[in-house]
Chains A and B, each alone.
Chain A
Amino acid sequence: MFRDFLALAGASIAHRRMRSWLTVIGVFIGITAVVALISVGLGLERTIDQEVAKLFGVDTFILMPRGAFGRPGAARTSANQFSLDLAWLRSVDGVRTAAAVRQQTGFVEGPAGEDGRRVRGFFPVVGLSPELITEFESFLGTLEVAPGGRLLTAGDEAVAVLGHAMARQMTVEPGDTITVQGDADAEPLALTVVGILSAQAQDTPQQPAFAPGVPDSPDTIFIPYETMGLLWGRAEDVRLTLVKTDPGRDVNEVAARAEAHLRAQGTEVSAVTYTDISEAIGTVTSTVSAFLAGIAGISLLVGGVGVMNTMFTSVLERTRDIGIMKAVGASNANIMTLFIIESGLIGLVGGVVGTFLGLGVSAVTSAAIGRVFDVHVAVVASPMLIFITLLGSFTLGAFAGLWPARRAAKLPVVDALRYE
């Protein structure tokens, strides 16, 4: 029966070829816009996910003060530093390596100048695990030291790398010694300057020397993480911790376990994995995509009104045919079904054309975005997207035809037969 009705509806659509195509155009413009926007949105989401995974590493998580990352309204803590036992963290099951960053303000004394005077003052002192440089390269920005110096390496103890402004102020060069005073009750330490960060790298805000979260102002003194312990004791001033898990381990599980343990000890930290970051970015891109698709949906609505208009005209034109069909045994439900299938078919054809055009537009747009931002943006043409679009377009057409079809079905036979 359905197939017969499909054939009857198809014959009617083919008979009014020009008008049918014009109606289909009205539908497919909307579908094209919606499909293209959704496809580009999904493609961007997938690309962002891949880029984040590439940059962040699928085996890495960050420990940061609770509330520093996450949804607005999530529990926040006023502190931006937390206490951490790095040795414990490294011993957690599933953790391969970890690097932490501590920050304090220390009283620093430079070497004696030519006139015998020393520059003194309070400056930010940042303790870095050397693993930060050796194991988490993707977290480093344009970290460069001026010629003649070097960065911190494993096994370093009483050494320091200075920000370029700090070095200039103290007229320090690699090989010189500076003195840093930590806690009041701790002995001052003499540190050998091994490198000075290049001015160019530190003064480019778009490409910072370190990862976000690592203080890197030009007047900072960078010292080994272990050395921080000699100056300030237990690490209660950690700003950031990067953790790499063992290969094959579920990073989210290890992160959750570490986070839960630390919280149980009263340390307010959040563990952030690459999925958290891509989800956070994804939320923004999906909201934007949904908003744009909503705007494109307006043109779909207009297309639907076009289908309704065509179907009303069709009912009017075929009033006598409706009478004939009823006279030879068609029920009201038969007539209604026939017209709904007809309008649904118009919607479906619009859907098929719109889907292909939409994917084409998406491919071109993705290529353009990829060229501008120098990334490969995937063109997402998931079977689910196509299926939902086609089902949606048939439903749109059928829904638009509902009212005209009802009107057709209710026509009295005799009046319909007499219609001129």
Chain B
Amino acid sequence: MSSTALLLWAKGPGFAFAAAVFLFGVTLRVVEMLWLRRRPDRSVARGSGALQGLRTVVSRFLPAPGLVARSPVVHVGGMVFHLGLFAVVFLYGPHIAAIRGMTGLDWPGLPTGAIDGATVLTIAAMIVLLIARSKDPVRRLLTTGADHLAWTATLLPLLTGFLLVNRVALPFETLLAVHLLSVELLLVLFPFTTLMHAVTFAFARYYAGAIAGRKGAHS
């Protein structure tokens, strides 16, 4: 298959398939989660569960006091990784243009140089976090093969994107095709791995906040 044909496939049927799997999988995971419902709580509330639930969705972006000192690498690395990934995915001009093409939504992006820097930082944070995971006895015990798969699937679009922007190695067309395929792999794996937390974290935080909020407790 020529690089042009590969690119056309990645842009066309490949992307359509990946997007369909992603949308079906995410919808299924969310629906089967919500389908389990919660039993009605008959206790008389002391505070607003809904309000604290929403507040907790936001407040948990901040690290827990005292724990940063115990796990500085995970906290700082995690923060850099998530912020960097957000910038690279949603604030890079060509990505915004692609999303605009599909949805009509538009917003300002960051200069390519900034995105380049964010990509390097994000990849560096991923490598540091992987090393930290392999060295820490708790994380080593908890880590599964699926975690490594999710890590790899996240790294590949970043790496191929960086090579693509900086015109390193392969011809542009081939690199773009490989980059798109790596994104499609990420989309396909998303609902089946811990990548899914990017959607469900909001539900988890909301539930935790709502449960505590009714009691006037902390979350």
Q: Are both chains from one complex?
A: no
